[in-house]
Amino acid sequence: MKEDKKQLLLRLSPSLYEKLTRMAEEDFRSLNGEIEYLLTQAVNKKYPQNPTKTNKKG
């Protein structure tokens, strides 16, 4: 069964937005995909005993 994704409105400073956009381009991801990837990595680092899986290029 496919997992439904939750939507979230996220406000970013212009400088953070630009850095994230650059990172996403370097990793061949969408901005949304890059943010999801980075958040997943941070959560897995904090809770290694219960890792969260990423979609696609995780």
Give pTM, 2 decimals.
0.78
pLDDT at residue 9 in the model? 96
CA distance 31 to 42: 17
pLDDT digits 0-9 by tens, 5-54? 899 999 999 999 999 999 999 999 999 999 999 999 999 999 888 777 76
Query: What whole-number distance in Å separates Cα of residue 17 and Cα of residue 52?
Result: 24
pLDDT at residue 56 in the model: 52
